[in-house]
Amino acid sequence: QVQLVESGGGSVQAGGSLRLSCEASGRTFSVEHMGWFRQAPGKEREFVAGIVSNSIFTYYSDSVKGRFTISRDNAKNTVYLQMNRLKPEDTAVYYCAVLHYWNPSSRATGIYWGQGTQVTVSS
pLDDT over 90 percentage in the chain: 90
Distance (Å, whole) CA 101 – CA 7: 24
CA 44 to chain CA centroid, Å, is 15
**β-strand partners of 34:** 51, 98
Look at residue 26 in the predicted model and tell me its pLDDT. Answer: 82
**β-strand partners of 39:** 93
Query: What is the strand order of the sheet 18-25 is part of?
Result: 3-7, 18-25, 78-83, 68-73
Distance (Å, whole) CA 120 – CA 59: 23
Q: Could you report the per-residue pLDDT of 64-122, keeping only the tens digit for each?
A: 999 999 999 999 999 999 999 999 999 999 999 999 999 999 899 999 999 999 999 99
Look at residue 1 in the predicted model and tell me its pLDDT. Answer: 79
pLDDT above 90: residue 32: yes
Mean pLDDT of 59-64: 97
